[in-house]
Structure 1
Amino acid sequence: MSAATIRRVEPDAGPALLTEIPGPKSRELHARRAAAVARGVNCLVPVYIDSAIGPWVIDVDGNRLLDLGSGIGVTTIGHGNDRVIEAASAQLRRFTHTLFTVTPYEGYIRLAELLAAKTPGDFVKKTFLVNSGAEAVENAVKIARRHTGRRAVAALDHAFHGRTSLTMAMNHSTVPYGVGFGPFAPDVYRVPNSYPYRDGLSGAEAAARTIAYLEKRIGVDDLAAIIAEPIQGEGGFLVPAPGYLPALQAWANERGVVVIADEIQTGLARTGTWFGSEHFGLVPDLVLTAKALAGGLPLAGITGRAEIMDAADPGGLGGTFGGNPVAVAAGIAVLEELGTGHYFAEADRIGQTLRRGLDELALRYPEIGEIRGHGAMQAIELSEPGSRIPLTGLAAEIAGYAAKRGVLLITAGSDGNVIRFLPTLVTTDAQLEFAIELIGEALALHADR
């Protein structure tokens, strides 16, 4: 089944399975993978993809599966978006690489201008482009340290910022991301965050706890930056209590501490706004983008206050492939596509549909402890009924059940007890309702045991 065939599928058609999941060709590829690919490169669902379009991925066995993970938030505007493909293809025919720091090109400048216009804050901004989210985090820390002359960086509990040497030290979970990879980078501190479902604190109370830790355990004179995901991704789509992030920002602004918003997963219409920070009244000094930025091509950016971004000396920032012209062309196309305004309403629609269906499930299955999120970034946390003790293992069980029936779900949470929904913004209500029905079936099977 080709991508061209999928384009003709009725919008509300469900998954179409020709074989068991995984099918024989996927199993054959998985055996080859074991022999050729490093063991540390994990595989959640051993289904090997041949093509993709809209909300669908089509595997090598011809099975059509509904993708509710979008490559962990990458293909936000859908697989195979025509505008992105045309922009990248046109650039491929012109030139693929020159290195912007040697012989620059207009696309890089245009994308920087668009990011400056769309990120929160009405101050003058500048941008530096790199290849990946982890690179964006690393460079934001470099820039903040250079600007402030301080060394310490604070990351929040349950955070995930990448797999590089520095970002491993910033992650909440050492397992599996940091096992055996130490020693870790120094001057990185993990501090308490806001987790209303478990701590029961108001935004003001949670902020006071975080600030007390910052002042007593780190010291303001040494603190260069605080980095926060407006909604934590790998940590379980944790939504902070109202007022928490603005209180941290106010404290940091008064003390010259740089506020970095890791919008790698929350940014670019995912939550129904350009950036997740907008839901919380947060105006960061630096904003990090990646994932959805180039519709599947590797590209990331650091955008922020001009005086902070200009702290590094000429030559202090750069990289051979950062701001690759083909990826930049795709990034411009993504931002222009989002600029039509259509996708923000779609994110809100998806959020409402998911919330409505998941609320109904929660009435029947007390294992659903909390439903949370904004727009097309929703999650359920699974807990022992009548408590908030994590039900470790159930999320993976539900995801496995759904995959065998043609729906791809992703788990999350520091305790592995969260299912996160990151559908493309072209996913229909009927497709979402089909997925919710499968989750209900899996919960019913669990309850019967």
Structure 2
Amino acid sequence: MIESLLVANRGEIARRIIRTARRLGVRAIAVHSEADADLPFVAEADEAVCVGPANPAQSYRNTEAIIAAARSTGAQAIHPGYGFLSENADFARTVEASGLIWVGPGADAISAMGDKINARNLMAAAGVPVAAGTTEPAADLGAAVAAAAEIGYPVMVKAAAGGGGMGMGVAVDEAALRTEYDKVRAFAERMFGDGSVLLERYFPRVRHVEVQILGLADGRVLALGERECSVQRRNQKLVEESPSPAVSPELRTRLLAAAVRAGEAVDYRNAGTVECLLDPTTGEFFFLEMNTRLQVEHPVTELVHGIDLVEEQLRVAAGLPPTFDPDALTVRGHAIELRINAEDPKRFLPGPGTISTWVEPTGEGIRVDSGYAEGNTVTPFYDSLMAKLIVHGQDRTEAIARARAAVAAFDLAGPKHNLPFFTDLLENPEFLSGNYDTGIVSRLR
């Protein structure tokens, strides 16, 4: 097993990784910005290094500072968490060129999946279903108009280098396409340094379902069940659950097999996620993207399978077999995750501030992965995620009941927060039925 691990991230995911590392007897090293010096993950690490000011480009995305911190502390490996440098192939290559172990997939797999057009083409060649769309970037507006006419309206206009629900727009006709194309291209150039745009079929009513994969050290790729991620605002997730209430046993077999093919197509190692769109009226699913990292929502998979995905990541990186029997995976009950964000519960706009009260719920089947504590300040420099409230029950009904109780018991004051939204959602007939889609949040507001 790896003996010392530098965690190149912050907040709840850094704290989460540190917790597993320390349980395994692995020395955990944190890096942090000046703005995060007082957060729990810094205090809980065995050692901590400040890598720069609040601006992520000067700290959490500062490759030179992070590699220097690894060298000065004698770290053996680097875990990137999610976001920041986690899907940066150049960073992965730099880590390995520095003689360090990279806890993640190979740089070639990251590169292959980072370009959404290339990823679509690779998946189609591997027999993974993809929605109708462009096989190369729409070089200009004229090419986009021609492609949309062939695909048929409405179309999704997407940044080819984007991810995480960013850089997307819907065009219902040519006039809208002209607006969205320019908007998405400008956003992509600004955010990703790459203005490439792709178009694909847009589904007005669709579910977002993903499969957790794990590429083992021996070359096998496993599918660890699916997660339902259709409760979203601005194409970004708020709630995830596993198993998905929309997936039948027959569909699950097809979905998981496709995810394994996707991983095998890029010789995938370590943890990753194959995201798909599911048409609830036809049962068709289509490849959306592959996240070449640990997902925010990994705890729901952990709870239903009884495994620690961070431990499995470390074992793969160290060349060790998994802790479980890959041929005897079982699913236990139902798990739901709620993302507790520092944002208002109606418009979902960020509302940072100092936490005056922070009392986490406890009890059977309740888990809280938090990045903050009472007295900490949620700053405007980073994502608004403060904590993840995860519940587990024997079935979906029990999980929802535990989620209701946990939301009611979570005492939080200071920053704006979205707990009232979850109170409403957990009483909403559409959500309770399990028959919902990505439009549910807009219908709740």
Q: Which has the higher strand share?
A: 2
Q: Which has the higher helix share?
A: 1
Asked which structure has the greater RCO (Cα within 8 Å, sep 6+), the reply is: 1
TM-score (norm 1): 0.30
